[in-house]
Amino acid sequence: MSTGERPDVDAVRSVYEAVGRGDVDRAVAALDEDVEWIEPEGGPFGGTHRGPEAVAENVFAGLGDEWDEFAVEPDRFVADDGTVVALVTHRGTRAGTGETYEAPVADVWDLDDGTITRFRHYVGSVRYAERRGEP
């Protein structure tokens, strides 16, 4: 199936591409006005953020503070009935320490007619805690 036949995957892919370019405006433009964006508790952006402005302020704006370099590289998309699961690799260099980080994560995107209504970010807790300097 070509990507032109998978509009939900195309919508999600466009957000990853916008984040990769540092284009926060384009990334949040794909979000529904009532989007629910869920980040793991204990992480730098942990919690539930509602609405595109909250996502821009509480997630995307903080990337520059947390990282000198940061990349989100989608490895695979699985789509079914308005839900896209993205298997992704995060890579970065932590600000202030120069520590490098690489970890696989899974993101679950719910869409309604090509607009993102919910995002859930899943990351392995042990590796995540190690990156955060926790036991």
Q: Is the pLDDT of residue 118 over 60?
A: yes
pLDDT of residue 2: 41
- What pTM was computed for the model? 0.82
Task: Kindly state the average pLDDT of the residues 61-74.
Answer: 78
How far, in Å, CA of 46 to CA of 59, rounded?
9
Q: Is the pLDDT of residue 81 over 80?
A: yes
Which pLDDT band, with edges at 50, 70 and 90, does 44 fall under? confident
How far, in Å, CA of 85 to CA of 87, rounded?
7
Which pLDDT band, with edges at 50, 70 and 90, does 112 fall under? very high
Share of the chain above pLDDT 70, in %: 86
Task: Kindly state the average pLDDT of the residues 107-117.
Answer: 97
Burial 26-64 (b: 16+ CB within 10 A, else e): ebbebbbeebbbbbbeebebeeebebbebbbebbbeebe
Geometric angle at alpha carbon 29, from 27 and 33, rounded to 5°: 120
3 state SS of 97: coil
How far, in Å, CA of 38 to CA of 117, rounded?
11
Task: Kindly state the average pLDDT of the residues 39-63.
Answer: 88
Architecture of domain 3-131: Roll (3.10)
Q: Is the pLDDT of residue 111 over 60?
A: yes
pLDDT of residue 116: 98
- Per domain, the residue ranges of the chain are 3-131
